Amino acid sequence: MNNAIELRDVSWSAGKSFALRDLSLRVPTGSIYGFLGPNGSGKTTTIRLFMGMMRPERGEIRMLGKSVPRDMKSILARVGYVPERPHVYPALTVAEQLRYHSAFFRSWDRGWAKELMGRLQLEAEQKIARLSKGETGKLLPLLALAQRPNLLVLDEPTEGLDPVVRRDVIAAVLDYVSEASATVFISSHLVHELERICDWVGMMDRGRVVAEMPMNQFKNGIKRLRVADAPATLNGSPFTVLSRLSENGAGSGETWIVRGWEAPMRYYLETVGATLRDVIDLDLEESFVDLLRSSRPPSGGRQ
């Protein structure tokens, strides 16, 4: 499988306060890849590294088949980027900002930019300084989309926006992806938003990628099991036990959070003397929270 973005064993540190450790990440070409993680987990730092704004201490980064940072000039010509913080000039009008931005991209589509302005209800002569937060939140994706990029990198693009604006921005992105077969990398902590649109998911916590898989595998393969007569150890288990919690009360057993579960695996539990009482489906947010908890040390300290 070709990857639009690939990080291999990348490390970077900000003194003793924060570090990325041996970070590996693969974004398949043509995918809509959701990058999940709590605030402060390292999502924006990771983006800045593969966008060439920061240099890793070690490891390899490739985007669109080229090396970062060596080939950034040719890479950036094919990437539409919406940063976490706005990168527009308050003194300009919307039309002036579009003309300024277009000067950097040979692929700029003036007709498409005009169509997006109408669709997103932005006025050409309005000063950027007078735009609302929602209007600014629509202008930034417009600038990225009008480049006709092969890859869209969106860092918290709908953070703080109302539901109507979020819907308009996501709809414009999805329409472009459908038309141009572009790859999208979208970082967010809005789990339910990503669940609706992404076909791949990566999850980050405390400078590490703790999970990366197709969205359907993530949603369908992580379950909560209620188990009686659970053995102390599981040898040769076909699934991964992320956490085990003892239940209290009559007939108590254990509650497990497992990854990679499939229905036929219930027979494995019988072979180790356990009884499966219940299999509980989790939504993406529940899976996300349980996976984060299971990846952290019991003390809550850094690993």
pLDDT at residue 274 in the model: 93
Q: Name the burial class of residue 42, with classes exposed (0-12), middle (13-18) and buried (19+) by CB atoms within 10 angstroms of its CB.
A: buried
pLDDT at residue 247 in the model: 80
pLDDT at residue 137 in the model: 92
pLDDT at residue 303 in the model: 37
pLDDT at residue 211 in the model: 86
pLDDT at residue 36 in the model: 92
- Ranges in the chain, pLDDT < 50: 300-303
Domains and CATH numbers, the chain: 3-205 (3.40.50.300), 217-295 (3.30.70)
pLDDT at residue 252 in the model: 67
pLDDT at residue 105 in the model: 95
pLDDT at residue 301 in the model: 41
Over residues 185-215, the pLDDT tens digits come to 999 877 888 888 999 999 999 899 988 989 9
pLDDT at residue 249 in the model: 57
Q: How far apart are CA 276 and CA 294, in angstroms?
A: 21
Q: Is the dihedral of CA 66, 217, 212, 203 positive or negative?
A: positive
pLDDT at residue 300 in the model: 43
Q: How far apart are CA 8 and CA 22, in angstroms?
A: 7
